[in-house]
Amino acid sequence: MTTVFEALKWASLFLTDAGRDENAGEWLLRHHLQMNRSSLLANFRMEISEEVLEAFKADVKKHADGVPVQHLTGYEEFYGRKFEVNKEVLIPRPETEELIEGLKSRIQAHLPNKQLTAADIGTGSGAIAITLALEVPELLVTGTDIAQESLEVAGRNAERNDAEVQFIQGDLYEPLEGRTFDIIVSNPPYIPDEEVLQLSEVVKDHEPHRALAGGKDGLDFYRKLCSGMPALLNKPGIAAFEIGAGQGEDVARLLQEAFPEAKVEVVFDINGKDRMVFAER
């Protein structure tokens, strides 16, 4: 029989040889054993059944071939909650948690103690919309996405996390025509088209290109969003974008042109990269 320690050691060597993150082995074994990290580490000498071991090894080999760990487990953790992910949605990234934090602090400072409306444009898995609805109870949140398949995932995530969010199918802000919001947030596709082809196969072969490719310079969706936002955003109001590294100045300029009177701020993430742009109107 193989122990937890032996299985992890095998996975670490196998994944390292394949050029993958060796820590994926621990994540997959925790999934198959239904254990948290502390339980796994406390049971290094525990023997694993042949059935579990074979399923674990099969998933390690799939990840070595490029399948994201999150597609093998079926979920990603975001802001302490589990979100279903599959090939129809972008896997939530830790940097997006910083976007939520920045937005929460600005809501408290800029729009405190009142019932508020928020729109998450291009909601994907619903991670931003659902997290905002749960973290800021005074928010009534609407999420839009062009893909019905993505909205089905978002709907299941809202149900799983017991969140009240309205999801509407449509391109960017088009399904919101005639409505206005106190907060507009978006993590749109922002990778230049040519760079999408250079991404790791874990990303480019398994996550939807519609959630990655942002046009020739990566800024197409910010241009479209900023052109329509003045009619959507209340005053006072807050706009918040996640951006790609190096896009801060360009996106800040687009927001300033859309809202000449607004305070626009580029914020860097924990890794020191420009990652968020906020406009307070």
Nearest residue to 99 (alpha-carbon basis) of 110, 107, 91: 107
* pLDDT (tens digit per residue) in 250-280: 999 999 999 999 999 999 999 999 999 999 9
With cut-offs at 50, 70 and 90, classify the pLDDT of residue 214: confident
How many CA atoms lie within 13 Å of 226's alpha carbon, on the beta-carbon side? 23
**Which residue numbers belong to the known binding site?**
122-126, 145, 187-190
Residue 274: strand pairing partners: 268
Residue 278: strand pairing partners: 240, 265
Asked whether 3 and 44 are in contact (CB, 8 A), the reply is yes
The DSSP code sequence of 221-272 is HHHHHHHHGGGTEEEEEEEEEE--TT-HHHHHHHHHHH-TTSEEEEEE-TTS
Query: What's the mean pLDDT in 122-143?
Result: 97
**Which residue numbers belong to the known binding site for substrate?**
187-190
Would the pLDDT of 213 be above 80?
A: no
With cut-offs at 50, 70 and 90, classify the pLDDT of residue 203: confident
With cut-offs at 50, 70 and 90, classify the pLDDT of residue 219: very high
How many angstroms separate the first and last alpha carbons of the chain? 63
**Which residue numbers belong to the known binding site for S-adenosyl-L-methionine?**
122-126, 145, 187
* Structure tokens belonging to residue 186: 């978006």
Q: What is the pTM of this model?
A: 0.92
Would the pLDDT of 51 be above 90?
A: yes
Residue 135: strand pairing partners: none
Give the pLDDT of residue 171. 93
Q: How far apart are CA 243 and CA 220, in angstroms?
A: 12
Asked whether 187 and 122 are in contact (CB, 8 A), the reply is yes
Give the pLDDT of residue 206. 77
- Rounded percentage of the chain residues whose pLDDT exceeds 70: 100
* pLDDT (tens digit per residue) in 52-77: 999 999 999 999 999 999 999 999 99
Q: What is the largest CA-CA distance in the chain?
A: 68
Mean pLDDT taken over the chain = 94
Query: What's the mean pLDDT in 89-105?
Result: 95
Give the pLDDT of residue 207. 73
Q: How far apart are CA 193 and CA 215, in angstroms?
A: 5
All residues at 6 or more sequence positions from 126 whose CB lies less than 8 Å from its CB, including other chains = 83, 120, 143, 153, 154, 155, 157, 158, 165, 167
Ramachandran angles phi, psi of 49, nearest 5°:
-65, 155
With cut-offs at 50, 70 and 90, classify the pLDDT of residue 202: confident
Asked whether 102 and 238 are in contact (CB, 8 A), the reply is no
Would the pLDDT of 2 be above 90?
A: yes
Give the pLDDT of residue 193. 83
Lowest mean pLDDT among 136-140, 192-196, 223-227, 255-259: 192-196
Lowest mean pLDDT among 66-75, 98-107, 202-211: 202-211
Instruction: Give the helix ranges, DSSP H, for 43-184.
Output: 50-64, 69-73, 94-110, 127-135, 148-160
